[in-house]
Structure 1
């Protein structure tokens, strides 16, 4: 019987990072391993319901130090605008003493991290192994290595002539994204092993490229999708609304809980959905400056789309909506977790990438796999209502060349991904690789 190990997890202070780390923690705990999960104090309550093994996964709250520029009480990216991410990153670095104290007291076998580039140094001091675990796509990680972040430049040896930043992608870049690229480089160079939330069937050549660039073993977890909770069916309203329309006719649009659009962007999105003439469900945060989504809607919009369009500013059961037989198209920001969920369904994808890593994953899906359509952008960096309408109509029209192509390619890819045991096999191999890594440590 394999000896059990104790892992620390220290993700970036954003729920879109902490939740995938917790999904991985659940998989480790399911196999009998222990996890200590380091996180901001206030985040614990919001994450507890994701912890499926509270006897094996213990939350270790951290006090977030004060940083000039960071609002009082801010502990995660949900508490701040994206322009303040650098201040939160500084606060994360200032938790180092607390992390080291926990390592000294609890003596884990290994520690997972992403943005805290100094973790490998701490790990080496205490003779434990460090795992750089990236929840972003391998495509984005590959491009972010030392020579890959320049716009319009294909890095030497890079495995794609299509999936890279182009000169017109400047609007999706940020100083924070560039800093993350730098931190990845530092973390990758000094960690013991690189772990990626993907599978070789989608991003194998990018994983191989990362391994060759950093001369490090790269191990894959698979997409780490949480188990669908079939005990909680889709809320009655969200089940009834699409059920009033023919199979595959409803457009579902969602941008994740971290994206906040400007009011004009939000209104253009609403108007584009209206222009399709199709039934739609839009789930998005209230636009900047509005306290509710209704407050930011275009004039008389609700009256015009009454009965065929709904706008919601709260949480919904996204995987269950995607699997509803009436939902045929998913418009989204191309976050990797969201894409994995959609690839496992029959929904066609229309993509509006919002930040750098989403742009690269979009290129992979639209230009290499041809399983989706990207909405074309204006010079302003956003899109017009007409370009959104045209993209949606192109995949929803079963007789169009684009519609036929993406449906056929999506169906082929889905067939591979739903192969029995595929994702479970990734988890088994991943845990085995971790056990081997720890075994090497114990014999060093």
Structure 2
């Protein structure tokens, strides 16, 4: 028995997992860590103290509790960044570069940890461009876990272009045309407002494009939270752009577990008809202006459909979002609309039978959750990769996009009402609703996804670094 245990210990990998400081990154990285630990491997999950407290708790009696160790690294102080800001949820969008600056200062404590613990693999995010070369120097294998679609990564381009200043895309307009290396017909480009609205000085010192380039170039494998069944043409192109020396492995969609039922929310949803409710949630990073909030509210009212709208106060805002809603709006929609202020159990809400559609900012996590439960998408991209995700979903017939002014992103209440109704009830939207139901299994079926999960863990096991060498 003792010999068996020794053999098991010898076969056991030790992985260091290090996500970017955003809940939309921490949660999938933690999910991935649990999958790895379920196969008997040890995981050191590293982040800042406050972020580690925000993670779902592992029951102390679970076998995972002995295999996953949470390792806190205090976030170094950076001028103009609030002391309690440890994630992108804690700061307005324009301060995220300062968060990256603080994140980059974790290089030294990370080096100390890697040297003292000598792991087999480090699984890292796009933002820590300094980590892959550091790990390589210490003989640790490197896996870049990419939380973006293959389509999005293909648009960003090959590492050789992104590093060493070869990328000629410097103006907003450069990102509104289809990249020349995309060899097939495609509309995979940003709209002007999706880029211009959020262009700001790069206070972190390292552009995101360079971070992406190094994350890919210096990896031993790129793990993608997607599948070839969903975007085969983009996986094929990505492998050409990265060259055959960098394996690109889909890990599936990591379907989330449904959380506990929240009483107040449950009672309201239980009273609604099946597939009748539009769930509206625009993520935690983008902020609607007063004008945008007004048009969205009045559009939802004008649609005549039941809705559940999650709103939160933006970080560092002096005005509560509840005060920004149109006069009398809450009273007028009281019988068919619920406006929920603060955090809401999104996965549970999307799993509810009464929810038929999801008006989303097109963050990849949210789209995976919506499609995994067969909800038609009403696409309203705000920033980062969301515009490209909207093009991808629209192109595959999984949603309808609310039309907006290409230059400033403005939209009307009438457009909101029209496209919400198109997605939910109009005859012209029937094909989209049917297509979403057909593809639900690719995103939400655990057995289908577990095959890809097993394949990537096998890759890590078979390609461990040779410690003796």
Give the TM-score of the pair, scaled to structure 1.
Answer: 0.92
Could you say which residue in structure 2 is the equivalent of 1:220?
250
How far the C-alpha of 1:319 sits from its partner, in A, is 2.2
Aligned partners of 1:195 and 1:221 also within 8 Å: yes
In the TM superposition, 1:163-182 aligns within 5 A as: 163-167=188-192, 169-171=194-196, 173-175=198-200, 179-182=207-210
Runs of at least 5 residues in structure 2 that lack an aligned partner in the other structure: 1-6, 162-166
Aligned partners of 2:76 and 2:105 also within 8 Å: yes
Distance 1:56 1:242 in 2: 38
Segment of structure 1 superposing worse, 206-215 or 371-380:
206-215
Q: Give the count of matched residue pairs.
A: 437
Partner of 2:186: helix, strand, or coil?
coil
Structure 2 residue corresponding to 1:267, chosen from 290, 294, 299 = 294
Aligned partners of 2:255 and 2:445 also within 8 Å: no
How far the C-alpha of 1:299 sits from its partner, in A, is 0.6
How far the C-alpha of 1:57 sits from its partner, in A, is 1.1
Aligned partners of 1:293 and 1:312 also within 8 Å: no
How far the C-alpha of 1:48 sits from its partner, in A, is 4.8
How far the C-alpha of 1:263 sits from its partner, in A, is 2.8
Distance 2:443 2:255 in 1: 12
In the TM superposition, 1:405-444 aligns within 5 A as: 405-417=431-443, 421-438=447-464, 441-442=466-467
Aligned partners of 2:193 and 2:408 also within 8 Å: no
Cα shift readout 1:315-336 (whole Å, capped 9, x = no counterpart)? 2222222222222111111111
Segment of structure 1 superposing worse, 375-384 or 3-12:
375-384
Aligned partners of 1:292 and 1:313 also within 8 Å: no
> Once superposed, which parts of structure 1, at least 4 consecutive aligned residues long, lie more than 6 Å away?
none
Distance 2:154 2:100 in 1: 22
Cα shift readout 1:272-320 (whole Å, capped 9, x = no counterpart)? 1111111111012125746544222211111111121111122222222
Cα shift readout 1:167-198 (whole Å, capped 9, x = no counterpart)? 45434553469922221012211221111111
Distance 1:148 1:418 in 2: 39
Distance 2:438 2:44 in 1: 39
Distance 1:207 1:182 in 2: 21
In the TM superposition, 1:25-104 aligns within 5 A as: 25-49=33-57, 53-104=64-115
Distance 1:249 1:155 in 2: 39
How far the C-alpha of 1:436 sits from its partner, in A, is 1.9
Distance 2:262 2:313 in 1: 21
RMSD over aligned Cα atoms? 2.4
Could you say which residue in structure 1 is the equivalent of 2:4?
none
Cα shift readout 1:44-69 (whole Å, capped 9, x = no counterpart)? 21115268722211111112112223
